[in-house]
Amino acid sequence: MPSKDQTFAADLPEPKRLLLESVLSCADANIDASLDRLFQFLRIPSVSCDPLYTPQCQEAASWLATELENIGFDASVRQTTGHPVVLAHRRLAIGPHILFYGHYDVQPVDPLDKWEADPFDPQLRMQPNGDTHIVARGASDDKGQLLTFIEACRAWKTVTGGLPISVSMFFEGEEESGSPSMDEFLDQAGEELRADVMLLCDTYLWNDAVPAVTVMFRGLLEEEVEITCANRDLHSGAYGNAARNPIQVLAELITSLRGERGAVAIDGFYDDVKEPGEELKSELKKLHFDADKFLQNAGLSQSAGDQAYSVLEQVWIRPSCEINGIAGGYYGDGLKTIIPSTAVAKISFRLVAGQDPEKIQAMFREHIRARMPADCTVKFTGLGGSKASVIPPNSQYLRRARAALKDEWNCESVLIGSGGSIPIVSVMQSRLSIDSLPIGFARSDNRHHSPNEKYDLSSFHKGIRSWIRILAELSGGK
Amino acid sequence: MPSKDQTFAADLPEPKRLLLESVLSCADANIDASLDRLFQFLRIPSVSCDPLYTPQCQEAASWLATELENIGFDASVRQTTGHPVVLAHRRLAIGPHILFYGHYDVQPVDPLDKWEADPFDPQLRMQPNGDTHIVARGASDDKGQLLTFIEACRAWKTVTGGLPISVSMFFEGEEESGSPSMDEFLDQAGEELRADVMLLCDTYLWNDAVPAVTVMFRGLLEEEVEITCANRDLHSGAYGNAARNPIQVLAELITSLRGERGAVAIDGFYDDVKEPGEELKSELKKLHFDADKFLQNAGLSQSAGDQAYSVLEQVWIRPSCEINGIAGGYYGDGLKTIIPSTAVAKISFRLVAGQDPEKIQAMFREHIRARMPADCTVKFTGLGGSKASVIPPNSQYLRRARAALKDEWNCESVLIGSGGSIPIVSVMQSRLSIDSLPIGFARSDNRHHSPNEKYDLSSFHKGIRSWIRILAELSGGK
């Protein structure tokens, strides 16, 4: 048995390769026990947004801490102003230090009647094509995914008595409800989370056979815009034509946000956009992204964004402006003949590398203010913002993780982008200058946030094996 | 005492003038009894839109029928598919036949906590300026106003034993909830309602000292427009830029409905508009309408409609297009990063003389369809329509009613328009070719549909006296 401080070289000489094979075999032999633990975890209804489930969130945190202690971690449940955080450390004397992030909370289960079974009574479902689905709320997002990492550590511990690399773990319980306590927690715990790289398992495979590392996330700026015209709702007969209608005003403002070609039409909006480097661009080209299929999946046939860019570029490397919601006047059954006093829209921008949320916010508000007609006032409410995150495509950690993935999946992993954000990625980048390696084994049909959420048993199993290999590779140094 | 069949000439020779004075004196002497009856009527909470008050609607109808029988009418409560109608007739052998329309139902009282007293416990409130307010739900709209006509008939009956002219009365109980049973009722009862002219008391004075006849009502076309893009709500990160956003589409469509100058920008929209004749235009000029004050009352300083027209023209004689409501995506607290699948708007057009609602509906739908981008579908739901109503400014009835009003108010009445509609006016015009004379004594501050609705005691009293004179004048023939 190697010592607890054993580290692995990237090139894995024979003894280390044999050891790795032993760890993988251990994980294979114990997959049923791993699955049992996942089922225990899934049975805890840790819905973070519903105060009714506060005790269950606490229970899920405690369950995690106990499991981590069982495999030699110094683990603790830390109370926050919301649901607790689980922190766990197992440090070696030398070598790099990785931090693994996940979340133990889950989405609500509504609509419950669309579930084929109790969302918190996990089921194994054999599929006609030979796949096996683990069906439960959280099966994939994120309980199943985060457990792949813990079970990888367990296998290392079982075979070697330790881990090949210093590992800290950090699990929050509010990811599905906007992480309201995160900032305060990080203020307190910040330095304790310092590491060389952060790993996450909250993303997707590129396809069933090809693993992916997500190296770009768009940032986000969220604004609420309320337009007020008259001092009260007016009768549309008495005032129709004469009174400024805030819905009409808001519609004209929204229209002004996009130009003919589909690009965002705010002056200076693209000024700071940094195009991805040639290396990443060439990686993206290799993906042979099927834009038609992507659009068809949503019932669409044409992209609506800037037509100078491909669909993949539009969603990953170009910023966007979306109207997420609008409300004004009467929208129940029938019709009320009013000219409302106010109308409101929720507008968000997906930002890319180089764009500063505060600067974009100022540009946006100036754009709106400059177009306000007489007798109208506008009220802006900022709903938050975050910068885009880009993981350097030339980092040693990325290179080593991809080597490990290639060994497990027998193919090159791909580098992909995400049109959305994982807030912790940009938070850790800006607070502690820690880059992330988001590697996930979810399939695109896993129904995150929807009824009958599932995780493939093969995702769970190959996920564990992938992390076992990644831990070995990363132990080789920066 | 004149015979029951007594009719009056328009020029009112001395004996008739003396008789008229007696009837007016009788009304004056009995104003407290009239007020008692109004209070009885106001105590019946005949809220038509709330099924809880169905018995009270029935009670209000019965109360009216009894009062009308007491003054010699052949009155009956007619059941409909909704709340009942009261019909009453008192016909003479010769002379014109007038129909008086009103509604006994009232608006709900919400918000109840804004009322200074029980809305169904009428109060007399002395004002610092010497006015006396009758405060209750329905005090003005329409119980107080309709009772002015009944009390006028009562005074005639008391003094002469009869009426100077054939009178039918027609009271509905669903005016405040869109008159859902009216069409079916008119199909059955239609011919029974035939008359030479219809009188209504559901409108306003021009100002406290000047009575008005409302001779133009705009028509209405109501449409709901639902835009659907993707087959489900999409994640705005995953699809932002690529997926067509139905709120953006709807905003652009709404923007296209009005041109730069504020005019409606639908091709052909104004083609059939009939400008009012010179006679009416010159009447409107005499009004010296204070547009600034009208706008200020709503907290506005500039009109939003077609700038080629005055504010008064914009609201009375020009058609409009208003967005009455809009909804799409998420509009609760915070933000949901979705691109919604659908967005919906309620859009209505106020129409003027010459415009056909069906033709305008077709133009509007064609306008929208022609502007639909790829991957979008539109669903239209017609919510109803009615033509504008114009009362010929040269009718004998109008001339005689204005003569009577001049005698009572010691000034010329004015002819005004209304930007809104009283549906029964256009219904009676189109079904039975009966023109209306809408004459009301409400003041602009009567708080119709709002808490602390009031009717001035002077409106009630001078209203009764006005109708006494109008009945005398109209009995003179066409």
- State ipTM: 0.88
Residues of B in contact with A250 (CB under 8 A): 251, 326
CB contact under 8 A, B247 and A304: no
How far A35 CA lies from chain B's nearest CA (Å)? 30
Subunit contact A334:B248, Cβ cutoff 8 A: no
Say if A14-217+388-474 and A219-273+319-384 have the same CATH topology.
Answer: no
Interval B89-118: pLDDT, tens? 999 989 999 999 999 999 999 889 999 999
Instruction: Read off the pLDDT of each residue in A442-460 and give the average, rounded to a whole number.
Output: 93
Say which range, A75-84, A405-414, B415-424, has the weakest mean pLDDT: B415-424
Say whether pLDDT at A229 is over 80.
yes
The answer on pLDDT for B7 being more than 70 is no
Q: For A402, which DSSP code?
A: H
B227 contact residues in A (CB cutoff 8 A): none
Contact B304 A242 (CB under 8 A): yes
pLDDT at A12: 59
- Chain A residues near residue B343 by CB distance under 8 angstroms: 326
Q: Pull the structure tokens for residue B271.
A: 């083609």
Q: Which residues of B touch A373 (CB under 8 A)?
A: 304
Q: In B, residues 292-311, which contact A (CB 8 Å cutoff)?
A: 294-295, 298-306, 311
What residues in B contact A374, CB-CB < 8 Å?
301-302
Chain B hits for A298, CB-CB cut-off 8 Å, are 230-232, 234, 239, 243
* Contact map slice: B 405-424 vs A, CB within 8 A: 418-421
pLDDT at residue B12, as a whole number: 59
- Three-state SS for B89? strand
- Enumerate the residues of chain B whose CB falls inside 8 A of the CB of residue A350: 236-237, 240-241
- Asked if A251 lies within 8 A of B248 by C-beta distance, the reply is no
Which of chain A's residues have a Cβ under 8 Å away from the Cβ of B426?
Answer: none
Please tell me the pTM assigned to this model: 0.87
CB contact under 8 A, B419 and A238: yes
Which residue, among A322, A381, A389, would best test binding to B if mutated, counting the most B CBs under 10 Å from its CB? A322
**Option in A222, A244, A251 nearest B304 (CB):** A244
Whether residues A419 and B237 touch (CB distance < 8 A) is answered with: yes
Q: Would you say B170 and B87 are in contact if contact means Cβ atoms under 8 Å apart?
A: yes
A273 and chain B in contact, CB less than 8 A: no
Task: Label residue A11 by pLDDT band (50, 70, 90).
Answer: low
Q: Which of A204, A221, A229, A241 to mutate to probe the B interface, most B CBs <10 Å?
A: A241
Q: Where are the domains of chain A?
A: 14-217+388-474, 219-273+319-384
Q: Across the A/B interface, how many CB contacts are shorter than 8 Å?
A: 289
B263 touches chain A (CB under 8 A): no
pLDDT category, A478, cuts 50, 70, 90?
Answer: very low
Q: Is B367:B255 a contact under the CB 8 Å cutoff? A: no
B339 touches chain A (CB under 8 A): yes
- For A:19-78, CB contacts with B below 8 A are none
Q: Which CATH number fits domain B14-217+388-474: 3.40.630.10, 3.40.50.460, 2.40.37.10, 3.40.190.10?
A: 3.40.630.10
Helix A182-189 with A423-432: angle, nearest 10 deg: 30
**Interface check B255 vs A, CB under 8 A:** yes
Question: Which pLDDT value is given to residue B55?
Answer: 97
Q: Do B329 and A330 touch (CB under 8 A)?
A: no
Tell me whether residues B329 and A325 touch, CB distance under 8 A: yes
With contacts defined as CB-CB under 8 Å, which chain B residues touch A204? none
Q: Which run of H or E residues covers position B471?
A: helix B457-474
Q: B-contacting residues of A 203-242, CB under 8 Å?
A: 218, 220, 222, 224, 229-232, 234-242
Nearest residue, CB atoms, B240 vs list A302, A327, A419: A419
Question: Residue A100 pLDDT more than 60?
Answer: yes
Chain B residue numbers touching A239 (CB-CB < 8 A): 298, 315, 419
A304–B420: do the CB atoms touch at under 8 Å? no
Which residues of chain A are within 8 Å of residue B235 when distances are taken between CB atoms?
419-420
Going by DSSP bridges, is the β-strand pair B74-78/B132-135 parallel, antiparallel, or unpaired? unpaired
What confidence tier does B11 reach under pLDDT thresholds 50, 70, 90? low
Q: Which of B231, B242, B327 sits opposite A315 (nearest CB)?
A: B242
User: HEC string of chain B?
Assistant: CCCCCCCCCCCCCHHHHHHHHHHHHHHHHCHHHHHHHHHHHHCCCCECCCHHHHHHHHHHHHHHHHHHHHCCCEEEEECCCCCCEEEEEECCCCCCEEEEEEECCECCCCCHHHCCCCCCCCEEEECCCCCEEEECCCCCCCHHHHHHHHHHHHHHHHHHCCCCCEEEEEEECCHHHCCCCHHHHHHHHHHHHCCCEEEECCCECCECCECEEEEEECEEEEEEEEEECCCCCEEHHHHCCCCCCHHHHHHHHHHCCECCCCCECCCCCCCCCCCCCHHHHHHHHCCCCCHHHHHHHCCCCCCCCCCCCCHHHHHHCCCEEEEEEEEEECCCCCCCCEECCEEEEEEEEEECCCCCHHHHHHHHHHHHHHCCCCCCEEEEEEEEEECCEECCCCCHHHHHHHHHHHHHHCCCCEEEEECCCCHHHHHHHHHHCCCEEEECCECCCCCCCCCCCEEEHHHHHHHHHHHHHHHHHHCCCC
Cβ-defined contact of A314 to B234 (cutoff 8 Å): no
pLDDT at B366 over 80: yes
B2 touching A (Cβ < 8 Å): no
CB nearest to A327's CB, from B252, B326, B420: B326
Instruction: Please give the pLDDT value at position B449.
Output: 86
Contact residues on chain A for B421, CB-CB shorter than 8 A: 237
Return the pLDDT at A10: 44
Query: How far is residue B379's CA from residue B226's CA, in Å, rounded to a whole number?
Result: 5
With an 8 Å Cβ cutoff, are B330 and A335 in contact? no
Cβ separation B243–A298 shorter than 8 A: yes
pLDDT in tens, A372-385: 999 999 999 999 88
Contacts of B295 in chain A (CB under 8 A): 242-243
Considering only the beta carbons, identify the residue of B237, B345, B375 that sits closest to A218: B237
pLDDT at residue number A266: 98
Instruction: Classify domain B219-273+319-386 at the CATH class level.
Output: alpha beta
User: Which of A298, A318, A340 is the closest to B234 by Cβ?
Assistant: A298
pLDDT for position A65? 98
For tokens 């449940």, name the residue.
Answer: A77
In this prediction, residue B478 has a pLDDT band, given cuts at 50, 70 and 90, of very low
pLDDT in tens, A106-146: 999 988 999 999 999 999 999 999 999 999 999 999 999 99
| Yes or no, beta carbons of A294 and B242 under 8 Å apart | yes
| pLDDT at residue number A401 | 97
A111 chain-B contacts, CB cut-off 8 A: none
Contact B299 A327 (CB under 8 A): no
- Interchain pair A330, B330: CB under 8 A: no
Amino acid letter for position A220: L
Query: Could B295 and A238 be called an inter-chain contact, meaning their C-beta atoms sit closer than 8 Å?
Result: no
Q: Give Cβ neighbours of residue B330 (< 8 Å, ≥ 6 apart).
A: A324, A325, A346, B336, B338, B340
Given this model, what pLDDT does residue A224 score?
97
Instruction: Fold for A219-273+319-384, please state it.
Output: Alpha-Beta Plaits (3.30.70)
Q: How much is the pLDDT for A44? A: 98
What distance lies between CA A215 and its chain's CA centroid? 12
**Mutation for A interface: B289, B324, B346, most A CBs within 10 A:** B324
- The alpha-carbon gap from A324 to the nearest alpha carbon of chain B, in Å, equals 5
pLDDT in tens, B389-435: 998 888 999 999 999 999 999 999 999 999 998 889 989 998 999 99
- Cβ contact, residue pair B330, A324, below 8 Å: yes
